[in-house]
Structure 1
Amino acid sequence: MSVATYPPSFLFFDLETTGADPVFDRPLQFAAIRTDMALEPIGEPVVWYARPPDDCLAHPAAVMTTGLLPDDPVLAGADSEANLANRIHRLVSQPNTCVVGFNNLRFDAPMLRFLFWRNLLDPYRHEWADGNSRFDILDAARAYRLLAPAALNWPVDGNGHPTLRLSELSAANGLTHENAHDALSDVEATIDLARALRNADPALWERLLAARDKREVARVIDQPGHVPFLHVSPRLPARVASASMFCSFGQVDGNRNRRECWDLRFDPLPWLDLDAEQWAERRFLKTPPIEAERDWDELRLPIKSIHLNRVPVVLPAEALERDGVAQRMVIDRARIEEHAASFRRHVDALRERLIGALEQTEGDFPPRPAEQSLYAGFVPNADRRHLEDWWGRARGLRSRDEAIAHARDLLVWPFEDPRLPELAEGFVARNLPEALDDAARERWRARLVDQLRPGQRLDPGQGQAPGTDRDFPTLFAQADRLATDEHWSPEQRALLGPYRRWLEQRERALKG
């Protein structure tokens, strides 16, 4: 069937996983509902599960969040990760599909990319090819809170701060959300929220959807003369509506999809007194720049990267004309105009400092295991075609013996990409261990036994979030700590007993 045969559609989806790290953690539950562009369902919902793989120990906080114990019967009898990946890949790759979720661009989408990568499927094509795109309802809600606040009731947390949690938004607006952190329930709630936003301001909805096309994003950001634009992002403080005005430097490095942009809350002129090395030192300061405005020595470099192909919320400066927008952003429009004029006058000198700072701070990272090295480069075309052909033939196999022979063909293929032999061996070890020779079987066993030793950090020295150590000693300690944490409900903490028993059983099996 041709691409034109498929009408445009949204595919709303959600994942429940073994933890919060997209690089390392694994999907356990996938749910999706396809809708037309008017957000009316097409066909039946899908809910698929996968068995937890042996080389990924679930984090206790994830178990408490999802309610899915690793030895839950619904998981124990579920599909392999490879089969789940194959089914999801075919679903999201249907032409003219816009893949949508709630916080999917920062969590679920990279989780899918690494799922596909581990399972030798193209990790990117479903996001852009054949008329496909992606969108995030969390980002849309954040934009509506600034630009069309009458669209929803906006809840606050216990400290009086605004919250954009899906469960809280659903409750505040009378939307269906019967079982938070069940994948299908989250999908249904996300669709209801999308309908509420679209119905409240259809023009804004279409404006935000337009950013699925990076050419439209570039049209806003790359206007001649460094014209200011409005940008809404979770990286900007909620107290200023997660928004600011920016001017773009344009493309400053080899990444044609990235723009470095100056935050116009800040006068660029004083920054010319610092050299490129000082800019580099200031680039990664943890203090949010707006909060540090009164203390120059603590001020982070007020430059933000915006990626054209990541569906950013960017709008022309005219968006400030909407009623109350400037007040919610807590900005002085006259100062913004002054800073924009200063930026234009000194843009060449500022750009020179920026390029020097980037050269000092964007070096090579230490080598990573193949399964964590997706972003180390694109797979050569010859390797990509071979993997597509391998999967095409794998889908037609009828017996375990045929599958084992087919897997052995994969293990001896002369890949150009040095990551792929290691990736293929892990894939086969998880799904068809009978296909491994003795040496490969020993390497896999050693990898699993490594989980017994403390300090098995996923990616040493790369600033992973707390909780990413996944060895048995760390997870037992985490479970003990969480058992007394009243942030969690009694029902959630009750899951820690069965979780510990599962962990003990896995530990005994590896020690044996």
Structure 2
Amino acid sequence: MLIKKKSEFNFLFYDYETFGLNPIKDRIAQFACIRTNINLKIIGKPIILYCKLSNDYLPDPKSMIIHNISLDLINLKGQTECKFASNINKIFSLPNTCILGYNNINFDDEFSRFLFYRNFYDPYSWFWKNNNSRWDILSLVRACYVLRPDGINWPKKNNIPIFNLEKIASLNNIKNLYSKNAHDALSDVYTTISITKLIKKKQPLLYKYFLKYRNKKKLIKKIDLSKIQIFIHISSIYKNKNNNISCITPLFWHPKNKNILISFNLVNNVYDFLQIIKNTQIYKKNIFSYIQLINFNKFPLLLPVNILKKQDLKRLKFKIIFYIKNFFILKKNFFKIKKIIKYIFLNFKQKNEETNIYNVDEQLYKNFFSNEDLFKFKKIHNKKKTIINLNEFIFKDIRANILLFKYKARNFPFTLSKIEKKTWDIYIKNIFNKKFFNNYNYEIKKLLQKELYNKQILVLKNLLKYIKNFFKF
């Protein structure tokens, strides 16, 4: 890979293949990335990394037969998760890097955050520190379809757009230079670069606009809460059948998270909302269906309503008259509506689950780590010896204390003391009990009864062999 001390702006396209779809609970199988310059010219060799499984996790069999990465390959080429996280953190940390992929903001980036969280790296600084940023080409593709679709062939089913990476590539004669296999991380990276080039070529102004507005500060400047505004919001929230588009009116910034804008979703009839709030008992679930939370850390696509041309309104079947009428009703009742919604958010109490060894991996968003704890995280990585004395690192945040034990057991099991090993064995037995294995085996055997390719059958049989060799049940 091309690494410079004083690096120029560059894109880092990346993708994961994972052992499941849940970034909170599942693990990563494969990482691939390619670095390009601002003109999308490749400037470094592609990188592929594999991550070994620790003995406290088993893959989702359904995910295994999507990417067909066998556990034999993982164990042969894979790195321990702490080494895997270290290498990715270094790759991400090159200054002036825009880190991007296809659906990375909702998927791959979440896996990155939880990977770094489990392995004592800052889960957030990689995409803003050293003038770094992030972007998502799936969002660009959606924006292109809604706003300026000309020049690109769009796959559809029953006249509903499909934003599948491989289908868009196939319909636009994009040939993968690496592999014909979908669901290989490097193959998907090459395809994403090609689709980005296609949009840049066919719709250069749109490309330039959204590249600029991947910056959170520039996006926030669009919101002026001293005025009552209306925006077009393009998002997967509104589903492909609705062309991923709606109109919203900003209300206020979230009282506990200033990156989230609370807005009124104008697809809902404002009159209906006014009837609901007349009741003496206001049910939160009824109120929340009218509200749209917009996370500015995810670079939302917010645009003025006049950006859509007449032909776009017709093509998208976008009921602009309904939205405008609804907006004016909202405007008349704005302060009443805002007051009610704000009251609910100010009095909303979130359940605070007590941290323990079983749920700590899921608690990234419980709180930010203190600077003092983050400093100690660096000390863990600076240790030359793999022997970690748990008493040497006492953190303010209880999550870090429990995570350190799990970090040691997952990555350096041979260094566990007798007491630590006994604690870990009890933990493993509790999560992988007889009921779990009965259900897990049943799921694999059920999949084997379906029509599968030979490679898929081998992957599943390999998984059965793996659990018989490594677990007693």
User: How does the TM-score come out when normalised to structure 2?
Assistant: 0.92
Q: Does 1:387 align with 2:377?
A: yes
Q: Does 1:142 align with 2:142?
A: yes
Secondary structure at 1:495's aligned position in 2?
helix
> Which of 489, 506, 509 does residue 470 from structure 2 map onto?
506
Q: 1:365-386 deviations in whole A, cap 9, x for unaligned? A: 4335222111010111111112
> In the alignment, what sits opposite 1:37?
38
Q: Is the 8 A contact 1:146 1:241 kept in 2?
A: yes
1:319-338 matched pairs, under 5 angstroms: 319-320=307-308, 322-338=309-325
Shift in Å at residue 4 of structure 1?
9.2
Task: Give the whole-Å Cα distance in 1 for the aligned partners of 2:22 and 2:401.
Answer: 24
Task: Give the whole-Å Cα distance in 2 for the aligned partners of 1:304 and 1:329.
Answer: 21
Shift in Å at residue 44 of structure 1?
0.7
> In the alignment, what sits opposite 1:317?
305
What do you get for the CA RMSD once the two structures are aligned?
Answer: 2.2
Classify 1:264/1:160 alpha carbon distance in 2 versus 1 (closer, same or farther; 3 Å). closer
> In the alignment, what sits opposite 2:334?
347
Q: Does 1:479 align with 2:466?
A: no
Classify 1:201/1:96 alpha carbon distance in 2 versus 1 (closer, same or farther; 3 Å). same
1:21-420 matched pairs, under 5 angstroms: 21-70=22-71, 72-157=72-157, 161-177=160-176, 178-222=180-224, 224-275=226-277, 278-283=282-287, 301-320=289-308, 322-358=309-345, 362-368=349-355, 369-391=359-381, 393-394=382-383, 397=384, 402-404=385-387, 407-408=388-389, 410-420=390-400
> In the alignment, what sits opposite 2:433?
453
Shift in Å at residue 364 of structure 1?
1.7
Task: Give the whole-Å Cα distance in 2 for the aligned partners of 1:116 and 1:228.
Answer: 38
Counterpart amino acid of residue 364 in structure 2 = L
Q: Is the 8 A contact 1:99 1:133 kept in 2?
A: yes
Q: 1:1-25 deviations in whole A, cap 9, x for unaligned? A: xx99221111000111111110111
Classify 1:257/1:73 alpha carbon distance in 2 versus 1 (closer, same or farther; 3 Å). closer
Classify 1:372/1:265 alpha carbon distance in 2 versus 1 (closer, same or farther; 3 Å). closer
> In the alignment, what sits opposite 2:424?
444
State which drifts further: 355-364 or 431-440.
Answer: 355-364
Shift in Å at residue 501 of structure 1?
2.2
State which drifts further: 110-119 or 176-185.
Answer: 176-185
Classify 1:436/1:499 alpha carbon distance in 2 versus 1 (closer, same or farther; 3 Å). closer
Q: Is the 8 A contact 1:411 1:421 kept in 2?
A: no
Runs of 4+ in 1 over 6 A off after TM superposition: none
Q: Is the 8 A contact 1:280 1:360 kept in 2?
A: no
Q: Is the 8 A contact 2:29 2:74 kept in 1?
A: no
Shift in Å at residue 474 of structure 1?
2.4
> Which of 456, 459, 468 does residue 495 from structure 1 map onto?
459
Task: Give the whole-Å Cα distance in 1 for the aligned partners of 2:63 and 2:267.
Answer: 39
Task: Give the whole-Å Cα distance in 1 for the aligned partners of 2:405 and 2:250.
Answer: 44
Q: Is the 8 A contact 2:32 2:189 kept in 1?
A: yes
Shift in Å at residue 350 of structure 1?
0.8
Secondary structure at 2:297's aligned position in 1?
coil
Q: Is the 8 A contact 1:229 1:245 kept in 2?
A: yes
Shift in Å at residue 494 of structure 1?
4.8
Secondary structure at 1:54's aligned position in 2?
coil
> In the alignment, what sits opposite 1:465?
none
Query: Could you tell me the percent identity over the aligned residues?
Result: 26
Counterpart amino acid of residue 253 in structure 1 = P
Counterpart amino acid of residue 341 in structure 1 = F
Classify 1:207/1:489 alpha carbon distance in 2 versus 1 (closer, same or farther; 3 Å). farther
Q: Is the 8 A contact 2:32 2:46 kept in 1?
A: yes
Task: Give the whole-Å Cα distance in 1 for the aligned partners of 2:90 and 2:461.
Answer: 38
Task: Give the whole-Å Cα distance in 1 for the aligned partners of 2:160 and 2:31.
Answer: 31
Task: Give the whole-Å Cα distance in 2 for the aligned partners of 1:221 and 1:454.
Answer: 54
Task: Give the whole-Å Cα distance in 1 for the aligned partners of 2:282 and 2:311.
Answer: 37
Q: 1:420-470 deviations in whole A, cap 9, x for unaligned? A: 110000001111223333222112111222243266xxxxxxxxxxxxxxx
Counterpart amino acid of residue 175 in structure 2 = T
Q: Is the 8 A contact 2:118 2:403 kept in 1?
A: yes
Counterpart amino acid of residue 460 in structure 2 = L
Classify 1:206/1:348 alpha carbon distance in 2 versus 1 (closer, same or farther; 3 Å). same
Shift in Å at residue 77 of structure 1?
4.0
Classify 1:214/1:501 alpha carbon distance in 2 versus 1 (closer, same or farther; 3 Å). same
Q: Unaligned stretches of 5+ in structure 2?
A: none
Counterpart amino acid of residue 253 in structure 2 = Q
